[in-house]
Structure 1
Amino acid sequence: MNSVLIIITVLSCVSANERKVNHIISTLERAVLFFEVNYDRFNLDGVTGYRVLQALLEDTLKRWTLSGPEADSPYTKVEDLVKKVGFTVEMAIKELKLHQPAYFNAFEPILQVNFWTFRPEWTQTDRKLVYPKWRVKECFEEEDSDICMFQILGTWKDYRVNCLDTAKCTKLMTTLYCSDYSLSHQLIYFILAEIKNCTNIVGSQHPQSRNSISTQRLKKIFCTNMMEINLHIEKDGFPVYQRDLFLENIMLCGMIGYSDFYKTRWLEAILSWQYPSGCYVETGRSMHSAEMKQNAFTEHKRVKREDVLLDDNCSCHKTAVAVGALGSYLRFYGISQNVIEP
């Protein structure tokens, strides 16, 4: 009897996961169509989100574990999405070269088709690593994190060398108790350092300790606190102005293997936020409206600098991190057999 119950449970789990996969694919199809229509109006951050999506989908196809007649259709649909996203990203890159040449040149490596790679292993966050408190102010400005990433990528001004290590960036990117976008950008910094194989940085020493903190440890600290932030956002009812950060946290921590970010209830919320046109929207009249900034953000919390609003308040950045998060969910369900709720 126990064996029968186990089989039934496994089959039920597989069926539920296939339904999730189909819902994710349908949502991504609408988001990709939106990108195809508006690619020439997307900024670099928005295009990067779709390039990450392409990489996630390609990795999903390589490791696909769903089987049976019903699995053929979603596999074929994912193949079609990869082709559409890849083609449209290349078209968008041509526009970026024309309209954002300096910013494009600085971040060009992350738009390369083979830049993003993913590990097959899964891990989870550790609540013992939750910060006892968070800094009230952002730890650094977005321009500061951009410079640190340029140094990793080898695109910083006259220093055209990969993995440039500076004391300022080491201090900024290993500072503890950061929150919100400072925290997520700290994680991005070390993701890029690992991808670029910056061995001089991934084992960097924390400025406040004599002991070296490994990259894996730092990433676990960062993702644990990004999880805590997401749980707070959920508890507050997913305020619209915090959904961008919520989605970014899932995309980043999910793509580096933190499976506890793939909560079914979060997936259902993300699917429900999509606008009929396929995008994810902001509220208010304009991202640059002083009234919206005052109402939507508490003191010291910044608005995403690199965002563009399209028709119907469609947000390039929010749509980009949404497709990244959904692509990460799809990879999780597509390559993991008998997935159980994290």
Structure 2
Amino acid sequence: MLIKFIFIFIIYSSIQIVYSSNLFSHEFNIKNGGHALYALQQLLNFFESDANNLNLDGLYGLRIAQGQLNALHQNLILSINKKNSLTDKNNIIHSLSIQIERIANISLNRIAYEEKSYLHQFYLIVYHPFVIDYQSRKINKDLIEHGKRNSDFHEEESDKCFAELLGSSDRLNSTKCFISESCWNMMTSPMSQNYRLTHQLLWFLIAKNIDCIHDDIANKNLNHFEDYFCANIYEDARMNLFHNINQDLFLEQLLLCSIIGYEEFLRFDWFNIILTWQHPDYGCFSDKSETIRFHRKTRRHLLLEQEMNNGCLSHKSGLAAGLLATYSRVFLQ
């Protein structure tokens, strides 16, 4: 049974939103913002050199990066009189956004030719920059769940729910913002972990991005879900990095919560670790920096991996692009 995608639930008690302060000096932020932009520039140069092998998974990460760069660019334009030292960096930021558009056009042309139906499913989130509200806040550790959690992730079922949300499913007269009860139950089920948990959050972020969530009650309940998901994702990310389990998952965990404002995900020590994963010659991200090698699916499928030139990984590199752009935004804005 299909139900309208609106959020009329129990009103949860409000959670205080804490806004960030300048923890580091202006010079420190400028310096490290420059490091993040340089790393992103190297990564985009790789993508442009191999754009025909960039699949939708990597492209989505680039669209997130483009949304972050555009937001930073506009912010700096408004404050340029106060931050004249950032004029040159803002020119670089704008040029990187333009470069992403060039890469996207090449990739989309190839995907449209080879996999038209696949592209149709997800065109709403890859044809333009991915824009999401950024609200500086902190995780609520009281929401972290303990005990056995479910990490089972079924790509086909997840894809059906994303396509249903986007209005591109096989259902007759499919319309965006309608979902089935089974998808709702999947995306709100508690005690999730790893990719199952990050994709639950991603589903809500896409719903927000395509204007399925727009009234006050819906936004209040979305904030609760974001608090819940990101508190548990943060705990997963800490353990993931500690055990060096999966860099791709770690990047996804950091990216999805950082773009909506959770400060803890943009730790400076994590930034430095991520920079060490970038290939020194090609600028991309591969599995050569991982202690444990995972069997990766290489078929084209939303949010799964595809190998590019020199062993570079499309999804992992796309996530890194989005995260480097987000670090740039936080350092420089």
Matched residue, 2:168: 155
1: CA distance between counterparts of 2:71 and 2:303? Answer: 30
Q: Indicate whether 1:141 and 2:154 are aligned.
A: yes
Within 5 A, what are the aligned runs for 1:254-333? 254-275=258-279, 276-283=281-288, 293=294, 306-333=304-331
**1:189 and 2:194 aligned:** no
Conserved? CA contact 2:166–2:177, under 8 Å: yes
TM-score by length of 1: 0.81
In structure 2, give the amino acid aligned to 1:42.
L
Aligned residues: 301
Give how far 1:39 is off. 0.6
Match of 1:124 in 2: 138
Q: Distance in 2 between matches of 1:12 and 1:223?
A: 24
Q: Which residue of 2 aligns with 1:71?
A: 86
Q: Determine the C-alpha separation between the residues in 2 that align with 1:11 and 1:325.
A: 20
Q: What is the deviation of 1:253?
A: 0.6
Identity of aligned residues (%): 24
Q: Following the alignment from structure 1 to structure 2, what is the Cα–Cα distance between the partners of residues 250 and 305?
A: 15
- The question of whether the paired residues in 2 share the 8 Å contact of 1:46 and 1:319 is answered with yes
Separation in structure 2 between the aligned mates of residue 250 and residue 112 of structure 1, nearest angstrom: 23
Measure how far apart 1:160 and its partner are: 2.1
Change (3 A) 1:304 1:164: closer
Cα distance, 1:165 vs structure 2: 2.1
Could you tell me how far 1:200 is from its partner in structure 2? 9.8
Question: Aligned equivalents of 2:43 and 2:107: distance in 1?
Answer: 15
Could you tell me which residue of structure 1 aligns to residue 3 of structure 2?
Answer: none
- 1:244 matched to 2:258? The reply is no
- 5 Å-filtered alignment, 1:46-65, equals 46-64=58-76, 65=79
Q: Which residues in structure 2 correspond to 1:11-50 (within 5 Å)? A: 13-50=25-62
Contact 1:165 1:200 in 2 (8 A): no
The alpha-carbon deviation at position 49 of structure 1 amounts to 1.0
Superposition RMSD on alpha carbons, in Å?
A: 2.7
Q: Deviations over 1:153-208 (max 9, x none)?
A: 1111134201112110111001011100000000011111122232499978xxxx
Q: Distance in 1 between matches of 2:305 and 2:100?
A: 20
1:58 counterpart letter in structure 2: N
With 190-199 and 79-88 compared, the bigger mean Cα shift is at 190-199
Residues 22 and 99 of structure 1, relative CA distance in 2, 3 Å threshold: same
Distance in structure 2 (CA, Å) of the matches to 1:260 and 1:292: 27
| Distance of aligned partners of 1:55 and 1:199 in 2 relative to their CA distance in 1, 3 Å threshold | closer
Structure ranking higher on relative contact order (CA contacts 8 Å, 6+ apart)? 2
Correspondence for 2:121 among 106, 109, 120: 106
Residues 91 and 80 from structure 1, CA distance in 2 versus in 1: closer, same or farther, beyond 3 angstroms?
A: same
1:211-234 C-alpha deviation (Å, 9 max, x unpaired): xx9121111111111111111123
Q: Which runs of 5+ in 2 are unaligned?
A: 1-20
Contact 1:163 1:201 in 2 (8 A): no
The CA distance in 2 between the partners of 1:200 and 1:166, in whole Å, is 20
- Provide the residue aligned with 1:226 in structure 2: 233
> Residues 310, 259 of structure 1: CA spacing in aligned structure 2 closer, same or farther, 3 A cutoff?
same
